[in-house]
């Protein structure tokens, strides 16, 4: 039966409070389909459809209108939620159709007034989130068999076309008017901010000269030329639009095996932290804030017991501890990015039962059911979110911590690792099968491989401890897992000085430094997207040609013509 699989009803979830320019109101990243304002989600058998119908007055702030299916962060929070729910709640779905619900418009891209009136930090983090959401679509296709069809019922410009590029296949209506375009260079003085230029060259492999023309045509390209140039895969006449969309969707569904039967999904319950004067407290994660020192402590905890087989994990559903813990960690990272922008340094801590972690890691690394597979990929994506977060991270490994297996990945993701080497304090670390590459970084290799790029012989020495006894601080230092291993005499002073020093550095310089250092090794489409994002947005988005008094982004939509400095730099 066709219909909305989540009928609207009174919601048990709190409405988010939002501010893009101040930190006085907290932006929520939790939503639910019964509260979507901008998307309509329906399922018919193995095909799901997301219709984009952005409410003009539904922005996160009242000072702009979301016209022509333009979007802000709130629209993308709903999109990310829908993708996640299809992966966990409807695993029988094999194709997702993304289409528009407005006449002759698919999506006009990111809302220009929203961008113009937001802080620089918000603009960058907004684009980073939209990038991660679109990469989530590609991850769902690659690892969950959830193929995606962009059914462009009208014009797709800017971020709207970038959303289409993240799909497996693009179908454009042939109505003599609808086009795809990147108008950012000619109209706004900026660049497509959600991986668009990278995807048309690296993913769709369109010729350089054609991409040059396309990226400077404000009106875009339509019809047969869009197909000829590879900008879309096929055209469909308006008179047969619904029929063609259905054929394309079912063909995509048939191209991938089913993960599960109907009704096997689990319900994703709400992530609801308790907030007090010290920070946010979840079930398995704590985020303690020190605004004065510009630091935060982010702690993840493992319970005393956990299921040891896939069926038992499935029976627990979204309360399976590792699934809930990493959904909580994901929310905490987003809180740090957008609600705690003054925080410079995050101190990572991992605690709880090492045996629980090892039992869970054995399950995640094995041939489990669909839920185990989905959870493994969720953990991978959350760890990538940490890698890509513009904060400094120090792993603090002292008494009572449990940096084992999946939790050890947090230490490997950190910019520095401090390990207390004190014979009277038990400090234990551990390696499991997951550290051999179960959670690849954006560069396509493991954190151990990235860490020891110049010492590949060190990797087997570390992995030799997988499944064995936990090891102490001295062994961790010998294995190269510690940046510094102070003794009990120097521990407090050395750590204090390192923390105070890091918090005193220029945030701009640190963001650039960390983005350069974190992804050694192979270049991938993903590292290009985020590397270029860090570079161009932290430059072009602050240049007068874009955001000056007569900059193109500022003048767009007004009678004032932009004025450019003509120096090429």
Write the pLDDT tens digit of every residue in 6-18.
332 333 333 333 3
Select the more confidently predicted residue: 262 or 303.
303
pLDDT band at 366 (very low <50, low <70, confident <90, very high): very high
Mean pLDDT, the chain, rounded, equals: 92
Residue 320: pLDDT over 50: yes
Residue 485: pLDDT over 60: yes
Please give the CATH architecture assigned to the domain spanning 274-512.
Answer: Alpha-Beta Complex (3.90)
Mean pLDDT of 414-433: 95
How far, in Å, CA of 326 to CA of 202, rounded? 31
Confidence at residue 473, expressed as pLDDT on a 0 to 100 scale: 94
How far, in Å, CA of 228 to CA of 207, rounded? 11
How far, CA to CA in Å, does 131 sit from each of 108, 124, 134, 137, 188?
A: 17, 11, 5, 10, 20
CB 127 within 8 A of CB 158: no
Nearest to 330 by CA among 29, 74, 85: 29
Confidence at residue 7, expressed as pLDDT on a 0 to 100 scale: 32
CB 77 within 8 A of CB 29: yes
pLDDT band at 536 (very low <50, low <70, confident <90, very high): confident
User: 33-182+222-254, which class in CATH?
Assistant: alpha beta
pLDDT band at 94 (very low <50, low <70, confident <90, very high): very high
Mean pLDDT of 330-351: 97
Mean pLDDT of 475-482: 96
The Cα angle at residue 111 between residues 106 and 112, in degrees rounded to 5: 125
For residue range 134-183, list pLDDT tens digits in order.
999 999 999 999 999 999 999 999 999 999 999 999 999 999 999 999 99
Confidence at residue 26, expressed as pLDDT on a 0 to 100 scale: 84
Confidence at residue 15, expressed as pLDDT on a 0 to 100 scale: 36
pLDDT band at 19 (very low <50, low <70, confident <90, very high): very low
Q: 């000829």: which residue's tokens?
A: 228
- Give the strand pairing for 221-222 and 155-157: unpaired
How far, in Å, CA of 328 to CA of 186, rounded? 41
How far, in Å, CA of 481 to CA of 478, rounded? 8
pLDDT band at 494 (very low <50, low <70, confident <90, very high): very high
For residue range 207-244, list pLDDT tens digits in order.
999 999 999 999 999 999 999 999 999 999 999 999 99
148 Cβ contact list (under 8 Å, min separation 6): 95, 96, 97, 98, 137, 140, 141, 166, 167, 168, 169, 252
473 Cβ contact list (under 8 Å, min separation 6): 397, 419, 420, 421, 422, 427, 429, 482, 485
Q: Calculate what percentage of the chain has a pLDDT beyond 90.
A: 85
How far, in Å, CA of 112 to CA of 107, rounded? 13
Dihedral of CA atoms 102, 104, 110, 113 in degrees, nearest 10, equals -90
407 Cβ contact list (under 8 Å, min separation 6): 300, 302, 350, 357
Confidence at residue 143, expressed as pLDDT on a 0 to 100 scale: 95
List, by residue range, all CATH 3.90.226.10 domains of the chain: 33-182+222-254, 274-512
Residue 480: pLDDT over 90: yes
Q: Calculate what percentage of the chain has a pLDDT beyond 70.
A: 96
For residue range 463-474, list pLDDT tens digits in order.
999 988 999 999
pLDDT band at 3 (very low <50, low <70, confident <90, very high): very low
Confidence at residue 495, expressed as pLDDT on a 0 to 100 scale: 97
Q: 């308790």: which residue's tokens?
A: 274
How far, in Å, CA of 289 to CA of 339, rounded? 11
Confidence at residue 2, expressed as pLDDT on a 0 to 100 scale: 31
């Amino acid at each position: 039966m066709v219909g909305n699989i989540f009928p609207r009803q009174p919601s048990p979830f709190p409405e988010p409070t939002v501010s893009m320019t101040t930190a006085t109101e907290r932006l929520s990243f939790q939503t639910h389909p019964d509260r979507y304002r901008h998307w309509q989600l329906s399922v018919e058998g193995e095909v799901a459809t997301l219709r984009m119908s952005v409410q003009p007055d539904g922005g996160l702030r009242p000072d702009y209108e979301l016209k022509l299916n333009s979007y802000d962060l709130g629209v993308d929070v709903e999109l990310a939620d829908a993708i996640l729910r299809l992966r966990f709640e409807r695993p029988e779905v094999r194709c997702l159709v993304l289409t528009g619900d407005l006449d002759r418009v698919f999506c006009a891209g990111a809302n220009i007034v929203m961008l113009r009136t937001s802080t620089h930090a918000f603009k960058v983090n907004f684009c980073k989130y939209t990038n991660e959401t679109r990469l989530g679509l590609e991850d769902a296709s690659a690892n969950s068999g959830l193929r995606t069809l962009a059914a462009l019922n009208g014009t797709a410009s800017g971020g709207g076309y970038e959303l289409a590029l993240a799909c497996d296949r693009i179908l454009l209506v042939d109505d003599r008017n609808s086009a795809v375009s990147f108008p950012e260079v000619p109209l706004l003085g900026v660049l497509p901010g959600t991986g668009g230029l990278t995807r048309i060259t690296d993913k769709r492999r369109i010729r350089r000269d054609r991409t040059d023309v396309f990226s400077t045509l404000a009106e875009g390209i339509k019809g047969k030329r869009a197909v000829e140039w590879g900008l879309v895969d096929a055209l469909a006449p308006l008179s047969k639009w619904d029929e063609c969309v259905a054929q394309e969707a079912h063909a995509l569904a048939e191209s991938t095996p089913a993960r599960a039967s109907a009704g096997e999904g689990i319900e994703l319950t709400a992530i609801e932290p308790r907030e007090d004067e010290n920070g946010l407290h979840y079930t398995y994660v704590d985020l303690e804030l020190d605004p004065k020192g510009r630091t935060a402590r982010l702690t993840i905890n493992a319970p005393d017991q956990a299921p040891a087989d896939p069926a038992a994990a499935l029976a627990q559903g979204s309360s399976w501890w590792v699934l809930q813990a990493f959904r909580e960690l994901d929310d905490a990272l987003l809180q740090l990015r957008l609600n705690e922008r003054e925080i410079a340094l995050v101190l990572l801590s991992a605690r709880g039962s090492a045996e629980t972690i090892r039992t869970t890691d054995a399950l995640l690394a094995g041939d489990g059911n669909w839920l185990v597979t989905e959870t493994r990929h969720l953990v991978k994506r959350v760890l990538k979110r940490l890698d890509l977060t513009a904060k400094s991270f120090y792993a603090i490994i002292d008494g009572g911590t449990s940096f084992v297996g999946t939790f050890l990945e947090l230490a490997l993701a950190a910019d520095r690792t401090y390990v207390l080497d004190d014979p009277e304090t038990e400090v234990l670390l551990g390696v499991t099968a997951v550290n051999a590459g179960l959670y690849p970084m954006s560069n396509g290799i493991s954190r151990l491989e990235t860490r020891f790029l110049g010492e590949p012989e060190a990797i087997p020495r570390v992995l030799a401890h997988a499944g064995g006894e936990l090891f102490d601080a001295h062994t961790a230092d010998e294995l190269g897992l510690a940046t510094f291993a102070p003794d009990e005499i120097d521990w407090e002073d050395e750590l204090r000085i390192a923390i105070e020093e890091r918090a005193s550095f220029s945030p701009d310089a640190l963001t650039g430094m960390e983005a350069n250092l974190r992804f050694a090794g192979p270049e991938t489409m993903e590292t290009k997207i985020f590397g270029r994002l860090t570079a161009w947005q932290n430059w072009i988005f602050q240049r007068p040609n874009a955001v000056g008094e007569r900059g193109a982004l500022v003048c767009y939509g007004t009678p004032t013509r932009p004025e450019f400095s003509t120096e090429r730099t």
